[in-house]
Structure 1
């Protein structure tokens, strides 16, 4: 009698063979104005929003090579996103971009954001605009904590007014071992976000503000599934907070940069890079309990999708196109991603192309 292997049982129970409308492949194309430039890093684009006839995007910008932590110089640029600021650009077509200048800069010496501000995301709500982003205080060490900041404006062109303090902080309930600046040495690790909170993504959802973010634990390890990163969410009645972290955190077991979009009352998400469920599209009807819908090949890195008002017409309409960064060069730059039209037969007829 024929028996069923564990592999085939998993495939049957998890419906690996279903013809999923959640599945697509991606293609990439260069953009003008934000592409490769010697000596400059542009990376981590926000979601793209359209105001009138103009597209807007915000991103991390810095200059100069990074040299790592071990130079002994506390002012040395340790990562491409170190000594960064948030800039923005506009476009008439989503392909040809015009850099407009600085949006949010570093704070004054001694401020919580005096070293670097980076990895922005944008929310337009009730005639106001909100940027959420990562911040680091000087000096930038291996054990440095990373927080989430917020700035708001009545215009996408600014000026932007920063919150007086971070809106979200690491759990800080682990304990380092010894005095050496080694992030892997701990007495106890604490929560999944005991070391860093970063990659924020803000939504007005269920009449509250939901702040999705990525967490790193103290003593983070490299496993067979990649880095030990997971996502959490915190909820507030006002965009400035105070935010309360969900009792369900972490709400994913995988994923690097957060990328989410609304769909029919729930939240869809693209998880990439790290974790056992990396490179999957997932969906949570309640915004919390995510389940895998499809496995994705070559997803955009640090993708910021175009925020359409029509994301309910198809599961992937909120991911139809956007911007991502490319790091396979000495200098990071921004490119465009799109759904590959060769796979559009998997999309229903209501999709806009």
Structure 2
């Protein structure tokens, strides 16, 4: 009998075709581009209402200085002391910033420190924004929640719900009193410290809120940070949301990026975990399996939400917006799958399109 290595044996299990495989191209946009002194990041999905595209995003001003300054009001990260703004576009490339959508609450409220990382759902005759919130001084051991605002128009006005719709498990136990999130007696659930990056879907006649969980005592593994995704489900868009008993539903992934496909949910898991940089599919929205290993995924991507996702497995991420954080001031870019890029430009070189397979790095 011919001897076989472990790699040869594994290779026989890799039987899936290339339908899910893709690479990405990046191109600049106007209106949300690099601007000295301003951070624009974490764009929501792009939706089209009548003849106009809309996007919501995290916006803040001023330089981030990190932890340890001794000043409780110091801006810790680019998303600290942020608000949710929105912009409109006739074509998805040329944007016009419209201003504030959802701001921070009054002192002592659950969202008085920062409001950021928005996502949008247009369902029925209403629009639902979900986003992260922080209350009080930004510390390493700070819990973070997910909140919601509702409007009858993408222009607002937005009505905030009175309380967060999802909170971390808040179990586990810290070790000592120092503000160090890595020192714990026990870690608790995968989302014991923070719930991040919400994305909301109407799915199977319910409302499914996917999110990223951060754990107390989070570690680094061979796959990077140990972040994972969970889902919470409600019968009404405003909740109450109940976390799935199957959580976490992934073992990897940073920012959430999901889309409908043939009765299930597809997701692109990037940045962190042993299955980072993969596209996965769950026929039931829960049990995800790897469909393709990819490269060069967009960061914090918000895809264009189309009703035609069943045309192909990648239709739900054919194009959208993402951010570039490899510069002093974060800004927003457009991404396309390479196939969409080739189709859009008919195989001609567009000098404004960033080189395929490479992310933009603004030269400060």
| Interval containing the TM-score (normalised by the shorter chain) | over 0.9
Partner residue of 1:263 out of 254, 261, 264: 261
Contact kept? 1:24, 1:343, Cα under 8 Å: no
Q: Distance in 2 between matches of 1:92 and 1:196?
A: 36
Structure 2 counterparts to residues 279-318 of structure 1, below 5 A: 279-318=277-316
Q: State the 1:253 CA deviation.
A: 0.2
Structure 2 counterparts to residues 269-280 of structure 1, below 5 A: 269-280=267-278
What residue number does 1:54 align with?
52
What residue number does 2:357 align with?
none
Q: State the 1:307 CA deviation.
A: 0.2
What residue number does 1:29 align with?
27
Q: State the 1:339 CA deviation.
A: 1.0
What residue number does 1:78 align with?
76
Q: TM-score, normalised by structure 2?
A: 0.93
Query: Structure 1, unaligned stretches of length 5 or more?
Result: 346-353
Q: State the 1:210 CA deviation.
A: 0.2
What residue number does 2:238 align with?
240
Structure 1 residue ranges, 4+ long, deviating more than 2 angstroms after superposition = 341-345
Q: Per the alignment, in what secondary structure is the counterpart of residue 231 of structure 2?
A: strand
RMSD after superposition: 1.2
Q: Distance in 2 between matches of 1:342 and 1:245?
A: 36
What residue number does 2:18 align with?
20
Contact kept? 2:318, 2:340, Cα under 8 Å: no
Equivalent pairs counted in the alignment come to: 343
What residue number does 1:321 align with?
319
Q: TM-score, normalised by structure 1?
A: 0.96
Contact kept? 2:210, 2:231, Cα under 8 Å: yes
What residue number does 1:111 align with?
109
Q: Distance in 1 between matches of 2:170 and 2:21?
A: 38
What residue number does 1:68 align with?
66
Q: State the 1:14 CA deviation.
A: 2.9
What does the per-residue CA deviation read over 1:51-99, in whole Å, with 9 as the maximum and x for residues that have no partner?
0110000000001111111000000000000000000000000000000
Q: State the 1:343 CA deviation.
A: 8.9
What residue number does 1:198 align with?
196
1:162/1:343 CA distance change after superposition, 3 Å: closer
Q: State the 1:138 CA deviation.
A: 1.1
Q: State the 1:187 CA deviation.
A: 1.1
What residue number does 1:349 align with?
none
Query: Structure 2, unaligned stretches of length 5 or more?
Result: 344-364
Contact kept? 1:88, 1:100, Cα under 8 Å: yes
What residue number does 2:120 align with?
122
What residue number does 2:9 align with?
9
Pair 1:208-2:206 in alignment: yes
What residue number does 2:332 align with?
334
Q: Per the alignment, in what secondary structure is the counterpart of residue 108 of structure 1?
A: coil
1:63/1:311 CA distance change after superposition, 3 Å: same
Q: Per the alignment, in what secondary structure is the counterpart of residue 124 of structure 1?
A: strand
Q: Distance in 1 between matches of 2:147 and 2:196?
A: 9
Q: Per the alignment, in what secondary structure is the counterpart of residue 13 of structure 1?
A: coil
Q: Per the alignment, in what secondary structure is the counterpart of residue 251 of structure 1?
A: coil
What residue number does 2:348 align with?
none
Partner residue of 1:184 out of 182, 185, 193: 182
What does the per-residue CA deviation read over 1:292-333, in whole Å, with 9 as the maximum and x for residues that have no partner?
000111000000000001001100101100000001110000
Q: Per the alignment, in what secondary structure is the counterpart of residue 2 of structure 2?
A: coil
Q: Distance in 1 between matches of 2:160 and 2:230?
A: 23
What does the per-residue CA deviation read over 1:208-231, in whole Å, with 9 as the maximum and x for residues that have no partner?
000000001111112221111000
